[in-house]
Amino acid sequence: MALKKQAAKKRPAVRRLINEGIEILQGFGVPLAGLTDRRRDMASMCFLAVAGVTHSADWSSAGSHPSPPLRTREIIDFINKHFGEQVSRGSYDDIRRKHLKFAVLAGVIQQSAGNPGAAANDPTRGYGLSPEHSAIINLYGQEGWGKKAAQFMATRPHLSDSVFAKQSVMAMPLVLPNGSELKLGPGSHNALQRSIIEQFRPRFAPNTTVLYLGDAENKELYMEATTLASIGIELNVAKSLPDVVLLDSHRKWLFLIEAVHSFGPISPERLVSLNELCKECNVPRVFVTAFLDRTTFRKFAPDIAWETDVWIAEEPDHMIHFNGDRFFGPRESS
Assess whether pLDDT exceeds 80 at residue 28. Answer: yes
Q: Measured between alpha carbons, how far is 290 from 229 in angstroms, rounded to an integer?
A: 25
Ordered DSSP codes for 107-145: TSEEEE-SSTT--TT-TT-EEEE-HHHHHHHTTTTSTTH
Express the helix, strand and coil content of the chain in percent, nearest 5 each: 45, 15, 40
At 333 the pLDDT is 61
Other CB atoms within 10 Å distance of the CB of residue 231: 16
Sign of CA dihedral 129, 83, 186, 285: negative
Q: Measured between alpha carbons, how far is 138 from 63 in angstroms, rounded to an integer?
A: 8
Domains, the chain, ordered by start: 12-154 (1.10.10.1820), 174-322 (3.40.1350.80)
Assess whether pLDDT exceeds 50 at residue 2. Answer: no
Q: State the Cα angle at 56 between 40 and 101, rounded to 5°.
A: 30
Where is average pLDDT lowest: 64-73, 165-174, 202-211, 252-261? Answer: 165-174
Share above pLDDT 90 across residues of the chain, in percent, rounded to a whole number:
40
Q: What is the pLDDT of residues 42-67, one digit of tens each?
A: 999 999 999 999 999 999 999 876 56
Largest pairwise CA distance in the chain: 68
Q: What is the pLDDT confidence band of residue 81, given thresholds at 50, 70 and 90?
A: very high
Assess whether pLDDT exceeds 80 at residue 24. Answer: yes
Q: What is the pLDDT of residues 258-272, one digit of tens each?
A: 999 877 899 998 999
At 202 the pLDDT is 93
Assess whether pLDDT exceeds 80 at residue 80. Answer: yes
Ordered DSSP codes for 150-165: HHHHTTS--HHHHHHH
